Structure 1
Amino acid sequence: MPGIAVRFRVVEAEQLIGAVDEVNLHGPDSPTSTRGKMHGMTERVPLTDLPIEDCVDDVRAALTERGRCVVTAEPGAGKTTILPLRLLDEPWLDGRTIVLLEPRRMAARAAARRLARLLGEDAGETVGWITRDDRAVGPATRLVVVTEGVLTARLVDDPALTDVGLVIFDEFHERSVPGDVGLALMLAGAQTGEHDARLLLMSATIDADAIAAHLDDAPVVSSPGRTYPIELVWRPKKRREPLAPAVVRAVREALRGPGDVLVFLPGVGEIRTVERELTAALGPDGPAVLPLHGSLPSAEQDAALVARAERRVVLATNIAETSLTVDGITAVVDSGLERTARLDPRTGMSGLHTINCSRASADQRAGRAGRLGPGVAIRLWSKAEHAARAPHAPPAITEDDMTPVALDLARRAIIDPATLPFLTPPDTARWAKAVELLTTLGALDDTGAATDLGRRMAMLPVHPRLARLIVDARHPWLACVIAAVLDERDVLRGRPVDLPVELAERVRLVIDPDAHHGAADSRALRTV
């Protein structure tokens, strides 16, 4: 079934309605529940030879004098690893928290653990993380790494950003909907005096001048990276050839050199197919073949990120493109494809579609091969095809479903998106359709304001269509199961034309432990 990239647990409706508390940055065990002056935190991290160290004073000055800064740093500069820690002692923080935004849950956890290790601590002490369904924070936490949706939820519920002194948007070039909405809400809150949190935007590939202009001519600080020369090899896939055989050939070629190989594939289905065919091709004595994607258990994700004694081939989605460090990589095999959320007119919700990645994304992927020394990037398309690709991916806010955003903003009495300082405004037609749908669902009244029903729907971490199914259900538990089945990847594996369309069969597989189906996907069932 088409998903909307939001994990949804099957729990009682009453528990779900209370689940919004889990995405607040404050709470009884939150990093903002106590305050205290920081002393010598920066000195606990020895000076490194990372290029970003030369820019720390410029960033400090920009945030002190202007309150805003844009940092462009090439891959390997150390911006995510070093800058947040170097800012923990700034006087203007006055013991308040730094919030570091990462675009994905896996990246948030990995960044928090890496930052904590530099302090000689475990995650959950000075540095912690909060995602929609996981957290590791404590009363002493002063740097909390969150996913972008967590900040957006916080800004809706607490526009004052209580006890937050600095918000850092990392990898902002990805231009996700939660990232763009979060930035707009932050800027609006600063304009009205609701908060005085400082703002830092960071990315390796970004139009820094345009963003700086949107931030009232914020200072721009640039840092070189640390990458070695990368040889680009063009190995176009044969016309109508399945993807897996082309990937296997390219991996075999990459393995002629030293080090580990990182393979970029569009989604979980392709990863499983390539994993099966590559394992058979390389044999039992070949390198370890490890998947890496967002639906894996965290232990399996961590295992794929860390180099080991034997060689390995990591099969990843674009989750490994920018915000994760995959150790030991000297070669990249790039399918040139990615999955992205787009409004599906059949379901009225966002669905995942496979598209060609942009030239900027391809360059980011290739850069993963040049962290340790000279590397190679094998691309499964031609040089001519590359020139015809879009230079950058369009902001998701211009193409994705705006229904969840419209409902969240209505909770803050923001009815017209033109009243917010969006870097890129939402598509007008998509916004109008979102408002129309929410009104039909009873989430908005005739003036566009959120109703009591709409507020209850907004507290559930699912699309408003599915939330409406749950809030007034006669059997809430069954409604949750149905919503989870519709929300997640199909629990039946195979070509859509070959699979049954009945929802009841899928629900039966979830609720009946003795149920069986020849096409059942055990991993998808566990996820649901």
Structure 2
Amino acid sequence: MGLFSLSSQMAALPIDEVLPRLGQILADASRAVLVAPPGAGKTTRVPLALLDAGWRGDGKIVVLEPRRIAARAAADRMASLLNEGLGETIGLRVRLQTLVGPKTRVEVVTEGVFARMILDDPSLEGISAVLFDEFHERSLDADLGLALALDAQAALRPDLRLLVMSATLDGARVAALMQDAAVVESQGRAFEVETLYLGRDSGERIEDAAARAIFRALAEESGSMLVFLPGQAEITRLAGILGEKLRDPAVDVCPLYGAMDRAAQDRAIKPAAAGRRKIVLATSIAETSITIDGVRVVVDCGLVRAPRFEPDLGLTRLETLRVSRAAADQRRGRAGRTQPGVCYRLW
């Protein structure tokens, strides 16, 4: 069952307008690039739409996500749209967890898992299409996976479809890498977001500045809140500050980072209960890969912790950096996904 037969059960999303064109391109060619901003619906709508494609045959559609939490969220959402559980039409394969079955036709995997899949089987037997989601986040595993997939397509599998999907990507550059693949662009759906610059003293700890912004936002705005911090250490310290000073029993504080167990991650992603507000303390994991319903306030510290290779030492270390303009815009946009919102920037 594909997307078009389910359209009456789904709310319209911006991506729906370009799905027919994308389907025609992939029917005529083996490579394409899809550029669609967060909220357009590309992650969950495109794989389901391609289920009905004639070129798919009995092969699987593999969807790559940059992180385990994003892979689980995407797989759960697609399965719910089909009124099924994971392991039926929609499968999931991440480190330490595999939920696939004989009926699985869409398999959501992390980029690292796909790299191992294609190294073990360069011809990708039984796979009809590979979709690289959130490719703008750029990682070694994603770049390696695309390079190996292009090589496999050229040498072994000319029938294999490759689709690169991104929110902020320069589509023309990636299309050129894929031998002038067609580029399809979709408009997003976003509400107006007011931006306030609060500043931060260079000697002030990040979590102290964030706590001050959070209490201001709680007093000035309604709705749940998403707070972007560099890493787990800052999240833990800020959670401690809020635990000591937050007096409102109707506000829940939920950390969100990659090393958490699944149950804790699910609690952070789920909408706040009726009559309650949620403060999600997140790393860059929440920029584009996942959606947290009910958030209309964003507090952005403007920093990210990223790996940097030191060639002199031959080692990779984590470094705290300023976010790019594109990343800052992505974070800001999280406040306007479902209603008008506010973004407090700590610079």
Is the counterpart of residue 318 in structure 1 residue 318 in structure 2? no
Q: Which residue of 2 aligns with 1:367?
A: 333
Aligned partners of 1:55 and 1:221 also within 8 Å: yes
Q: 1:285 to 1:294 in 2, by over 3 A?
A: same
Residue 354 in structure 1 maps to residue 320 in structure 2: yes
Query: How far, CA to CA, are the matches of 1:275 and 1:188 in structure 2?
Result: 47
1:273-306: CA deviations, max 9, x gaps? 0001022221252511110011111011001101
Match of 1:273 in 2: 237
Higher strand residue share: 2
Q: CA deviation at 1:172?
A: 0.4
Letter in 2 for 1:43: S
Q: CA deviation at 1:192?
A: 1.4
Q: Aligned partners of 2:11, 2:300: CA distance in 1, in Å?
A: 32
Deviations 1:49-106 (A, max 9, x none): 1011010101101111111111111221111121110110111000110000000001
**1-structure distance, mates of 2:2, 2:311:** 55
Q: 1:159·1:195 contact (CA, 8 Å) conserved in 2?
A: no
Deviations 1:498-526 (A, max 9, x none): xxxxxxxxxxxxxxxxxxxxxxxxxxxxx
Q: Which residue of 1 aligns with 2:247?
A: 283
Q: Contact between 1:262 and 1:331, CA under 8 Å: does it hold in 2?
A: yes
Distance in 2 between residues matched to 1:124 and 1:180, nearest whole Å = 28
C-alpha distance after superposition, 1:326-370 (max 9, x if no partner): 111001000111111122569743222211111100100111000
Matches of 1:189 and 1:125, distance apart in 2 = 28
1:233 aligned counterpart, secondary structure? strand
Counterpart position of 1:199 = 162
Q: How does 1:77-476 map onto structure 2 within 5 Å?
A: 77-194=40-157, 196-255=159-218, 256-283=220-247, 285=249, 287-307=251-271, 308-309=273-274, 310-344=276-310, 348-381=314-347
Instruction: Please state whether the residue corresponding to 1:165 is helix, strand or coil.
Output: strand
Give percent identity, aligned residues only: 47
| Distance apart, 1:132 and its partner CA | 2.0
User: Gaps (5+ residues) in structure 2?
Assistant: none
C-alpha separation in 2, matches of 1:346 and 1:243: 30
With the length of structure 1 as denominator, give the TM-score of the two structures: 0.63
- Paired with 2:287 and 2:115, the residues of 1 have a C-alpha distance of 23
Deviation at 1:225, TM superposition (A): 0.7
Q: Report deviation, 1:161.
A: 0.4
* Per-residue deviation, 1:219: 1.1
- Deviation of 1:47 (Å): 4.8
**Structure 1 Cα separation of the partners of residues 55 and 31 of structure 2:** 13
Stretches (4+) displaced over 4 A: 39-42, 344-347
* Cα deviation code 1:205-227 (max 9, x no counterpart): 00001111111111111111110
Q: Is the CA contact 1:148–1:182 (under 8 Å) kept in the aligned structure 2?
A: yes
CA distance in 2, matches of 1:141, 1:221: 27
> In structure 2, how many angstroms separate the alpha carbons of the residues matched to 1:352 and 1:96?
40
* Equivalent position SS for 1:354: strand
Task: Show CA shifts across 1:113-171 (max 9, x none).
Answer: 00000000111110011012211111111000000011111111111001000100000
Cα pair distance change 1:369/1:41, threshold 3 Å: closer
- Greater gyration radius: 1
Q: 8 Å contact 1:334–1:378 — kept in the other structure?
A: yes
